[in-house]
Structure 1
């Protein structure tokens, strides 16, 4: 049997192999990270209050929040490494013979260490050079902000070395070091040839080397980083120093400030039971009809996604609340997992989708437009899934199931009302241009905490602290991927590949239709292999200009890209999301793999409709 951890895991870099709580020596870092997250929320909330309540914006707040944010990202990345929470693929690693696997694991850790060592010196140089650049509002050297990068790398290197020498055999460490040294020597000797090959050498550095790293179990962020670092060092005349600047740019966008806050919002939603209140209300309305619980599941994912912005949080909230009743009504667990996974894929365009926020940041697309379009697109996909679920439930037995009384529905509506307000508040405020996604995320998390404490049982201090640290770790893992992926995308663009790709795709027979079809295939595959965020950051700078030159509206293209990636994410045998859904629902992937294909096909039909009919994406803008 295959589990989620078999396909989505991390090198064991913690004193306790199962420790999501992290190792003891990281406790001070966790405390600091929790404080930084609270500082970001507090600063942004102060900015909202000063701007909208007192009409007196404080100019330095955003700058101070940006400083805290980068430190939060790098310390969070270190915590994620300590807790084994950096995203990596182990599908190919698990195919290796048992006796070979420990060596490859050691080699993966040494590769991560090589990346950190290779960038450490230039990261400190970058921080030193930034001393001569003064921030506009606070009037302090920018070194106070960017020093987070080299210090975070040093911390990650220390975590790595501690674990390496505690768990790996000395012979494996020596052999792995020799292998990496031989590869580095070969790249150095071949450097003149690689430089002479120009953009052709990208195939070696950004395809072969990156693919080898991912296959060996190197986390995606570090795999992208190794590919870019080796290309700059051995395949071009561009100084490695530039890579730190691109990583800084990728992790420091003001738009991305909303990412950790929406992640925290998802934790609050789960801890307070606000999501369950929504599910209970929908169940009282629809639970008595055929396929009613399937409708409730899809509707819950649609609404809950508008609060948490996270697929994993959505599935973890919905599945435990609905699966027992669905089983009682005769629904088969594999079918339930299939609907859960594809429903989560459907709901990922519902605001406040973290994927949409990142896409808007890296592709320069209006987030308000993406939020408005995302709702309509999700409705189309939900309609397709509802149609399939109703057809499959045509023989469902409803004996013993009765319609909820008006009094029961009214009572559950009152309980759910404060929670139901939140997604509509988020969507309407951003789409209406009243406030930015970052501002709304801050208001939403404060509202959710307040409502959770007053109406839904509250959150204990220990649980709240745990949520802060978990949010910091997830933020660090996400932003490190964004930083290295943006550096990699920059290298591809600078090598002229973007122009070659544009010329090739522009000349495709069939014009925009062929380009759209090819884009769907590309992002379906990338969704399977890389997950959404890395694929978006890597490909958006290349693909969006081409789409624009062919007359495709950027909002429509964004919707097609995101939906295609989400379908790929849930497509077995590689799609990571499928295994996460199986894990959350406690169903063997071997059992669920056959049931999911009709639902995947239904989503693809919906995707084709979205790609063929621009009005669906842009008609409400």
Structure 2
């Protein structure tokens, strides 16, 4: 989702005016929250890396496992997630769709942004009291190893919601026009009053009321740029509060359940790892090696682009990190060779879609967490689907460059290729180290990221020596922000999926999909099309958290292998994520390359068409996903 557009925009002229008394209070409050949350989150990221690596070291090297290690990691993790969500809200980095509101005039955009901020406040207010009640509810429960109250852990939810409420209020005080605020308050209050007034009638609609809350309301909020976590969470709260007697305390329990799975701790650690790979110079070393081997061929650097995305994706787990690492290293030289910048962005975008299944993809980790599929099996099954996608990409590149003349490009001498290989070898070894640590039982799928972080630090500092220590703190804070934005979506989507299950919708969906024409093949085709659409609007993680628990049981009942279905779903969502006009990954690629989307949009379709063919192969040939499973 786009994160480069502020939640509330104001004209530049207004920004230069002296702040009024109310705006000054809001600015001061915002600054206090910024410094306190960013520093605490940075400390937590470092603490989690150290703790998980200590778990591995004590268990594998000293044969004396830290019994309390996982409990402490879980406690710190929920605090990291919520503080990260606070930072993401303050920095306007929550996942949200800005495709439509970006075209509004400044005055209309200001009104929509103010309305969005009021909606965020309404969501926080709805859960604030239940969140603190949830702390009281959990306080008598003590942990087994640490023997401390669980209230210390779940207090993170209450504190995080309180701080997000404070940030939203501060932003309104700083930037909102009084008339816009009044209009937004009246509309939001009017909607709430209407839901209460027509509660009986809405309840009488049966499951048709799901269209009001989980289609109409969610789509409306996403379209006007409200963060996805609020769209999911507020629609769930509104549904349960209107048509059921479910206490909001249960909603907090489901959010806690969604965010507290220890396997999800791999998300911030792999995000951190991805940023370190680029900062340490390891990504550049790998790209130089690939360029020395095949850069002299027709379209040679295009092949390098595909290969580089494949290699980097296998380490970083973050698509934004992948593109940011590869584009600056390759694009200048490709432009010198006459490549059109729109073609470059088209290839970059399609390569991002191709590599979604490569471990340790954050989507793989998430899908394993919410569906119970083995993370190790998903990591093993993810390589070959991406190979099929890469072959499809290479076929298009070959077709486009088969008659192209190559001038002024010399083939690298063998000794230069060998030199580049040895320079890149420590970086190329990282995916091997990560996979070996999991397969050999040295580390779990959660802990292995800490091994990767330590390895990257050591190798980067000893071999590449290009790291600027001034970048470390911003990298850590950005890690917390992105992780918080992802994890709170998972929490809200878990609550939403629970509400859909309680309504009976999941059973209806199961029955409908189980009787799809064509049996298992028909089900896979329908799922592929659905996930392409969902991926373009929601990104992979929100979509899979919401629909994974509903659709994976159907797939199992039809005899579809879990890993096969996961690869089809993830590849399809990647295709939707990077497909214009709605795929937000496409616009992220344009932003990385600083290219206008209009020109690139015309060039991306041949590559996406090739990936659609690759998706068909994944659907038809289960071996691609399951052939290497033991």
- TM class, shorter-length: over 0.9
User: How far has the Cα of 1:98 moved from its partner?
Assistant: 4.6
**1:475 maps onto 2:483 in alignment:** yes
Partner of 2:581: 573
The verdict on how the C-alpha distance between 1:13 and 1:49 changes in structure 2, with shifts beyond 3 A counting, is farther
- C-alpha distance in 2, partners of 1:197/1:315? 47
String of CA shifts for 1:82-139, please: whole Å, max 9, x gaps: 1111111122223545543322211110000000001000000001110011111111
Partner of 2:617: 609
User: How far has the Cα of 1:15 moved from its partner?
Assistant: 14
- C-alpha distance in 2, partners of 1:567/1:428? 30
Aligned partner of 1:142 among 128, 150, 158: 150
> Would the aligned equivalents of 2:555 and 2:565 in 1 still touch at CA under 8 Å?
yes
Q: TM-score, normalised to structure 1's length?
A: 0.96
Aligned partner of 1:540 among 548, 571, 582: 548
- C-alpha distance in 2, partners of 1:607/1:223? 30
Question: Is there any run of 5+ residues in structure 1 with no aligned partner, and where?
Answer: none
User: How far has the Cα of 1:321 moved from its partner?
Assistant: 1.0
Question: Is there any run of 5+ residues in structure 2 with no aligned partner, and where?
Answer: 17-26
Aligned partner of 2:35 among 23, 27, 31: 27
User: How far has the Cα of 1:290 moved from its partner?
Assistant: 1.8
**1:556 maps onto 2:568 in alignment:** no
User: How far has the Cα of 1:431 moved from its partner?
Assistant: 4.5
Provide the aligned length of Structure 1 versus Structure 2.
615
- C-alpha distance in 1, partners of 2:277/2:508? 46
Partner of 2:98: 90
- 1:484-503 aligned at under 5 Å gives the runs 484-503=492-511
Partner of 1:202: 210
> Would the aligned equivalents of 1:288 and 1:402 in 2 still touch at CA under 8 Å?
yes
Partner of 1:259: 267
Q: Which has the larger displacement, 120-129 or 326-335?
A: 326-335
- C-alpha distance in 2, partners of 1:546/1:458? 50
String of CA shifts for 1:61-93, please: whole Å, max 9, x gaps: 110011111001111111111111111112222
Partner secondary structure for residue 358 of structure 2: coil
Partner of 1:11: 7
The verdict on how the C-alpha distance between 1:113 and 1:545 changes in structure 2, with shifts beyond 3 A counting, is same
Q: TM-score, normalised to structure 2's length?
A: 0.95
Aligned partner of 2:164 among 113, 137, 156: 156
User: How far has the Cα of 1:363 moved from its partner?
Assistant: 1.0
**1:412 maps onto 2:408 in alignment:** no
String of CA shifts for 1:324-381, please: whole Å, max 9, x gaps: 2222222222221111111111112111111100111011111111111100111111
- C-alpha distance in 2, partners of 1:397/1:475? 46
- C-alpha distance in 2, partners of 1:98/1:323? 33
Partner of 1:60: 68
**1:463 maps onto 2:459 in alignment:** no
> Would the aligned equivalents of 1:14 and 1:23 in 2 still touch at CA under 8 Å?
no
Partner secondary structure for residue 395 of structure 1: coil
User: How far has the Cα of 1:55 moved from its partner?
Assistant: 0.9
- 1:151-190 aligned at under 5 Å gives the runs 151-190=159-198
- 1:47-126 aligned at under 5 Å gives the runs 47-96=55-104, 98-126=106-134
Aligned partner of 2:397 among 389, 397, 409: 389
String of CA shifts for 1:255-274, please: whole Å, max 9, x gaps: 01111110000111111111
Partner of 2:305: 297
- C-alpha distance in 1, partners of 2:598/2:31? 34
- C-alpha distance in 1, partners of 2:557/2:374? 18
The verdict on how the C-alpha distance between 1:505 and 1:611 changes in structure 2, with shifts beyond 3 A counting, is same
**1:321 maps onto 2:329 in alignment:** yes
> Would the aligned equivalents of 1:13 and 1:163 in 2 still touch at CA under 8 Å?
no
> Would the aligned equivalents of 1:10 and 1:219 in 2 still touch at CA under 8 Å?
no
